[in-house]
Structure 1
Amino acid sequence: MAKIHVHTAFTLMSDDATTKSFSPGLHEVADDVAEHWYVRLHTGEEPAPDLAPSDEQAINELSAELEAETERLAALESALDARGADLDRREAAIAAREADFDARGESGASVKADEKQKQSNQKK
C-alpha cells in the first residue's frame, strides 16, 4: 500500500472498467494504482501546512525567550570568566608567597647552620 497526495480531483477507470474517484487530499492505495500514469498526473508532494497567526505568535514568543536565555547565559559566562581571572590572580599571589617563604626558609636554614657551627667551634 502506498500513500498519495491528490492535488487535483480525478476519476480512474481500471482495466476491468470499474471507476474510482479521488478528491484532493491524502489517500492510501495499492502500489500499482499509485504508479499508474494518470494517477501520477494528479498527485504530488504533500504541501507544507500554512502557519496560523497563533503559530506565528508562538514562534515569536519562543524566539524572544530564546534571545533572553542567550543573553542570560552570556552574562553568566562573563561573570565566570571574571571569577576565573580573579582565581588566577590569587593563585599567582599564593605561589609568590610560597616562593618567598621557601627562600626565607633556605636562608634561615643556612643562618641556623652557621650559628650551630659557631657554637660547636666555641665549645672546642
Structure 2
Amino acid sequence: MPKIYVKKAFTLQHEGEKHEFAVGNHDVPAAIAAHWFVKAHTGDEPAAGGEAEQSDLAEQRAALDSAAQLLEGRAEQLQQLQDQLAERQQAIADREQSADRRDAELAKREAAVAEREQAADKAAAEAAKAAKTSK
C-alpha cells in the first residue's frame, strides 16, 4: 500500500465508498493514491522545524514588516488628506456664512429702496393731486 501525506483534509467518493482523509500520513490502496482528487490534496510531508522553515519564517516576517511600514505610511497620508478636507470644508462653511450675511444685507437694502420708491411715488401722487386741486 502506498503512503500519502494529506495537506488539506477532504472526503473522497470512490467506487461507491466514502473515504475521509484528515491532514497527515495515510496508507491507502494504489487505486486511491493514483486518483486525481487525492493527488490534488496530497504532497510532501513538511520537515519538522528545519532551517528551511526558519528561513521561510524570516522571509514572511520581513514581508509583514514591509507591509506594516507601507500601511503606516498610507495611514499618515490618509490622515493628512482628511485634515486637508476638514480645512476645506471649514473654508466652504465660512464662505457660505459670509454669502448668507451679504444676501441678508442686500435684502435689507432692497427693502429700503422699495420703501423710498413707494414714498417717492406717494409724494409724486400727492403733489400731482395738489396741483390738480390748486388749478
| Uncovered stretches (5+) of structure 1, i.e. residues with no partner | 26-48
- The answer to which structure, 1 or 2, has the higher relative contact order (CA under 8 A, 6+ apart) is 1
Q: How does 1:57-76 map to 2 (within 5 A)?
A: 57-76=69-88
TM-score, normalised on structure 2? Answer: 0.60
Output the CA distance in 1 between the equivalents of 2:27 and 2:76: 51
Evaluate the alpha carbon distance shift between residue 24 and residue 90 of structure 1 in structure 2; reply closer, same or farther with a 3 A threshold.
farther
Offset, 1:18: 3.8
Does 1:54 pair with 2:51?
Answer: no
Does 1:10 pair with 2:10?
Answer: no
TM-score, normalised on structure 1? Answer: 0.65
| Uncovered stretches (5+) of structure 2, i.e. residues with no partner | 1-5, 10-22, 47-59
Q: How does 1:1-124 map to 2 (within 5 A)?
A: 6=8, 8-11=23-26, 13-14=28-29, 16=31, 18=33, 21-23=42-44, 52-123=64-135
Letter aligned with residue 43 of structure 2: F
How large is the RMSD of aligned CA atoms in angstroms? 3.0
Output the CA distance in 2 between the equivalents of 1:103 and 1:115: 18
Report SS of the residue matched to 2:134: helix
- Aligned residue-pair number: 97
Letter aligned with residue 84 of structure 1: E
Identity %: 20
Letter aligned with residue 96 of structure 1: K
Evaluate the alpha carbon distance shift between residue 63 and residue 12 of structure 1 in structure 2; reply closer, same or farther with a 3 A threshold.
farther
Q: Look up the match of 1:34.
A: none
